[in-house]
Amino acid sequence: MYDNVEPYSTEVIYPAKYDTISAKIGFERVELDLMKAGRIPSKQISMGKSTKTVIEYDGKQVVIDSLVSWINVPDLKQPKLYRIKVYTVDQYDNKSVPQEIAVIPFTSGDWDNLVVASPRVLTSPNAAVIDWPSALSSILLEYRSVDYEYTDKDGKKITGNKGANPRIFAANLNAGEQFNIQLSYNVIPKVNGTTILDSLKIETSLNINMPTSSTVFNPAEQDILAANGVTVFTSEGVSSYRKLVFPVHTNTLQDLFYFPNIEELDLTGGDIFDLKTISYNRNNISKVIGGGDYLPFIRKVSPISDANAQTMVDLLNLGIIKKVKYVPNSLGIDHLLRPFDEAGVIEWVTTPDESLIPMNFFLDGKIQDATAWALDLVNPATSYPAGTNIVNPIKATLKGKNGSFIFVLPKEYRFNIAEYKYLKFKVYMPAKSTYNGIYGPYQRIWPRFMNYTWAFNTESSFGQEYWAPDANAFRISDENLEKWTDVTVDLSNLIDRHNRVVVINIGGEPTLTFSLPATDMVYYFSNFRFAK
């Protein structure tokens, strides 16, 4: 019998092996996946005679008394290449064919080289704002949050945590002294652009030399503060101010940070600020547009950013600001103010159901095209057909194929469509006999909306967001000729646009060879207004 088995006495028996190996890097460790089926419980693994798992690396051997789909290999503290073998053994210690992988773990040396972007610091004598204008995540790490700790002037320890877009408002500090704040960044390092398994903390200390009450600050909105009467730009110089007024074209509220006793904000412009103006001079048309009191159909062309309004939010949270007067949607910061509704500190200005467009926004269409857009305009009309409640009548006699006039806001503003969803006006059109022959299209009015007229394409930073209804949508019916007729334009399409120009065109720019009619084609318009 032994003679029969002798030829096989040197045969090697290989139990079943793991079918793959891949590594995920952690901090001073790696996790190895060993099965294509994924991470499954040991009781679900069947590999013939194999009973144990063996890991070998760096002269060490670790034996696991079961079969596993993945393993954690810890204590890889050296910044070097580790070659790791994983195999199975059966009850007679026969070894399977090993799976082998080479890995370099993330170690303390790599951690020490991680750097987080430095913060921006804004200081007043008794407070500091710390924020990070640039992204904290980078090719080397993924930022998750930052913990902070400091002691205020009363000896109270203040702690907190900030997540995405962190901003720390530290108040009640000692003027003229050094302020220390401990920062602990929670990050996940990256290797070759991929995050590792473990999050780590990067700890640093930030020392800030606090100014005194006589230290001059550089305001972001100096002209606005000067209009409020500020002449000395120091904390001491503005300490008596309890109220500030800001116009709708304000770009930032960060200057509030320097006013230690501010309690009230008026964000409507109040009686201090007029609207901005814009001057036009082209094709023998010269006019200054805008100025005058704020009107509720006007809003800032682009919202104040959350970052530029954050100082106001900080002061509201601290209970320092006790009242804010605000026209809905005017500055685009409604979402920042709503959380303070319950506290009763926000005065939402009630806007009227309709807001009339005054004639300081009216512009002759010849400014765009002196020939095709020509109308003989009388504004205000010295005589006009009788009607009920006629306000701001305009007489327009057609002189060009595309006769038009314009309402335009200065470039700092756009229409407040979130508040006013309709444009309304009255029109009085001539008799039916006027529209014989080629003049048939001129029985319609075509309103168009844009960011700028084409001759003034530098007036908008948002490109041209043009919209117009169908040219036939506002054809005046025969029975409504020779009488004042109400026109309503639904502006829902403009809600997210930066439109600040309305062109009122007669005829819808028809394709035809135009010649002046034998009898003047005279139109009357009135009561241009935005409505809810």
pLDDT digits (tens, 9 = 90+) for 205-221: 999 999 999 999 999 99
pLDDT of 318: 87
- Calpha distance 238→215 (Å, rounded): 12
Please check the confidence at residue 308 and state whether its pLDDT lies above 70. Answer: yes
pLDDT of 133: 83
Under DSSP, the state recorded for 27 is B
List of domains in the chain: 22-109 (2.60.40.10), 114-209 (2.60.40.10), 222-351 (no CATH), 355-531 (2.60.120)
Encoding tokens for residue 316? 């509201």
Please check the confidence at residue 157 and state whether its pLDDT lies above 90. Answer: yes
* Closest CA relative to residue 408, chosen from 360, 376, 465: 360
* Closest CA relative to residue 499, chosen from 509, 489, 511: 489
Backbone torsions φ then ψ of 380, nearest 5 degrees: -75, 150
- Calpha distance 475→361 (Å, rounded): 25
pLDDT of 8: 56
Under DSSP, the state recorded for 247 is -
Please check the confidence at residue 98 and state whether its pLDDT lies above 70. Answer: yes
Q: What is the mean pLDDT of residues 171-178?
A: 92
Please check the confidence at residue 13 and state whether its pLDDT lies above 90. Answer: no
Please give the helix or strand (H or E) that residue 99 lies within, else none. Answer: strand 99-103
Backbone torsions φ then ψ of 512, nearest 5 degrees: -165, 165
Encoding tokens for residue 431? 């008799």
Please give the helix or strand (H or E) that residue 375 lies within, else none. Answer: strand 375-378
User: Mean pLDDT in the chain?
Assistant: 95
pLDDT of 269: 96
Burial class from Cβ neighbours inside 10 Å (0-12, 13-18, 19+) for residue 292 reads exposed
Q: Is the peptide bond before 358 cis (omega within 30 degrees of 0)?
A: no
- Calpha distance 390→188 (Å, rounded): 68
Q: What is the mean pLDDT of residues 497-507?
A: 98
- Calpha distance 300→390 (Å, rounded): 30
Encoding tokens for residue 305? 């950013």
Backbone torsions φ then ψ of 200, nearest 5 degrees: -130, 165
- Calpha distance 91→74 (Å, rounded): 27
pLDDT of 64: 95
Q: How confident is the model at residue 313 (pLDDT cuts 50, 70, 90)?
A: very high
Please check the confidence at residue 12 and state whether its pLDDT lies above 70. Answer: no
Burial class from Cβ neighbours inside 10 Å (0-12, 13-18, 19+) for residue 417 reads buried
Cβ atoms 136, 117 nearer than 8 A: yes
Please check the confidence at residue 531 and state whether its pLDDT lies above 80. Answer: yes
The CA distances from residue 332 to 296, 300, 433, in Å, are 13, 7, 49
Question: 3-state DSSP: the chain helix, strand, coil percent, rounded to 5?
Answer: 15, 35, 50
- Calpha distance 39→256 (Å, rounded): 56
Q: How confident is the model at residue 433 (pLDDT cuts 50, 70, 90)?
A: very high
Q: What is the mean pLDDT of residues 465-479?
A: 96
Backbone torsions φ then ψ of 162, nearest 5 degrees: -125, 135
Encoding tokens for residue 107? 């170690």
Q: What is the mean pLDDT of residues 244-248?
A: 98
Cβ atoms 411, 450 nearer than 8 A: no
pLDDT of 6: 59
Encoding tokens for residue 211? 């100014």
Backbone torsions φ then ψ of 487, nearest 5 degrees: -120, 135
* Closest CA relative to residue 467, chosen from 455, 449, 492: 449
Side-chain-side CA neighbours of 220 within 13 Å: the count stands at 14
Cβ atoms 208, 181 nearer than 8 A: yes
Determine the 3-state secondary structure of 6 from DSSP. helix
- Calpha distance 288→458 (Å, rounded): 17
pLDDT tens digits along 343-380: 999 999 999 999 999 999 999 999 999 999 999 999 99
- Calpha distance 451→501 (Å, rounded): 6
One-character DSSP codes across 256-308:
GGG-TT--EEETT-TTT-PPPEEEEEETTEEEEEE-SS--TTEEESSPPPHHH
**Which parts of 412-521 are beta strand (E)?**
413-415, 422-428, 445-450, 484-490, 501-506
Please check the confidence at residue 49 and state whether its pLDDT lies above 80. Answer: yes
Under DSSP, the state recorded for 125 is T
pLDDT of 346: 98
pLDDT of 307: 87
The CA distances from residue 364 to 101, 407, 473, 520, in Å, are 78, 9, 24, 19
Q: What is the mean pLDDT of residues 497-517?
A: 96
pLDDT of 2: 54
